[in-house]
């Protein structure tokens, strides 16, 4: 896929891309060598270093999306993958410095795309956590009282009420066995019905969230 032309300018016949390391240096020179210019340069460098480190945690599908859109290059990805394989502290630190150097060579549009991909990943993780929490609340309510089943069926009429009722009752029967364990300060061991009920609830919630 062809990429749009880079934004930048020419200095003595040399093209300088906006946001590149050379661009930052030239702008710093124009501003002078005061502390404000140095602070801006350090802040920009630190941000790109942090984004480079965050790339190690980016999901494969999001990395492929960035690569396909031309926001990542093979050289940077290889450096990131190598950093993930290094276990030696000093070796990893040097490799991440190299990743940071490559990050500072990216265009501002590329940096913004990486930042957006990381945001999308975090948003997805937060949504998944919220869904699991909601499933836990429904499970606990269904086990606690029979009335909760009416509320569930009103929200999810396609559910198998007989299957749910059977699992609810079995989970209640299994629960007294945990009293001694809890009195000893240990985490209770939950039975198969308890786990199956949670999985059914979660699946209905996932299907409900899908368009």
**Average pLDDT of the segment spanning 168-192:** 63
Q: Is the pLDDT of residue 126 over 80?
A: no
More confident: 10 or 67: 67
Q: Is the pLDDT of residue 17 over 90?
A: no
Distance separating alpha carbons of residues 37 and 66, to the nearest angstrom: 31
**Average pLDDT of the segment spanning 169-185:** 63
Predicted local distance difference test score (pLDDT) of residue 4? 52
Distance separating alpha carbons of residues 138 and 151, to the nearest angstrom: 10
Q: Is the pLDDT of residue 5 over 60?
A: no
- Give residue-wise pLDDT tens across range 54-111: 899 888 888 888 888 888 888 998 999 899 899 899 999 999 999 999 998 888 889 9
**Bridge partners, residue 16, by sequence:** 9
Contact 48, 118 (CB under 8 A): no
What letters, b where the CB count within 10 A reaches 16 and e where it falls short, cover 98-108? ebbbbbbbbbe
Cα angle value 185/200/58 (rounded, 5°): 80
Using DSSP, state whether 105 is helix, strand or coil.
coil
pTM: 0.49
Q: Is the pLDDT of residue 139 over 50?
A: yes
Distance separating alpha carbons of residues 146 and 169, to the nearest angstrom: 9
User: Containing H/E element for 37?
Assistant: helix 35-54
Q: How confident is the model at residue 207 (pLDDT cuts 50, 70, 90)?
A: confident
Predicted local distance difference test score (pLDDT) of residue 197? 93
Mean confidence (pLDDT) of the chain = 81
Q: Is the pLDDT of residue 149 over 60?
A: yes
**Average pLDDT of the segment spanning 106-120:** 89
Write out the two tokens for 66. Answer: 């960035």
Contact 28, 92 (CB under 8 A): no
> What string of DSSP letters covers 53-97?
HHGGGS-HHHHHHHHHTTSS-HHHHHHHHHHHH--SHHHHHHHHH
Q: Is the pLDDT of residue 121 over 90?
A: no
Distance separating alpha carbons of residues 38 and 191, to the nearest angstrom: 61
| DSSP character at residue 16 | E
Distance separating alpha carbons of residues 105 and 187, to the nearest angstrom: 51
**Average pLDDT of the segment spanning 160-182:** 77
């Amino acid at each position: 896929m062809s990429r749009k032309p880079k934004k930048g300018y020419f200095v003595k016949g040399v093209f300088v891309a906006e946001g590149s390391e050379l661009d930052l240096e030239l702008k710093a020179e124009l501003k002078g060598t005061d502390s404000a210019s140095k602070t801006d340069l350090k802040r920009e460098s630190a941000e790109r270093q942090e984004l480079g480190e965050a790339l190690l945690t980016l999901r494969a599908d999001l990395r492929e999306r960035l690569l396909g859109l031309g926001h990542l290059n093979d050289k940077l990805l290889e450096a990131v993958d190598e950093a993930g394989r290094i276990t030696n502290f000093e070796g990893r630190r040097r490799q991440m410095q190299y990743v940071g150097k490559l990050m500072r060579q990216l265009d501002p549009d590329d940096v913004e795309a990486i930042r957006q991909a990381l945001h999308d990943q975090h948003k997805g993780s937060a949504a998944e956590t919220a869904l699991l929490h909601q499933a836990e609340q429904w499970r606990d309510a269904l086990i606690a009282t029979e009335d909760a089943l009416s509320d569930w069926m009103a929200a999810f009429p396609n559910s198998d009420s007989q299957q749910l009722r059977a699992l609810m009752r079995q989970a209640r029967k299994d629960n007294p066995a945990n009293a001694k364990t809890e009195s000893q300060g240990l985490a209770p061991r939950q039975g198969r019905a308890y786990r199956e009920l949670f999985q059914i609830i979660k699946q209905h919630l996932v299907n409900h969230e899908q368009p």
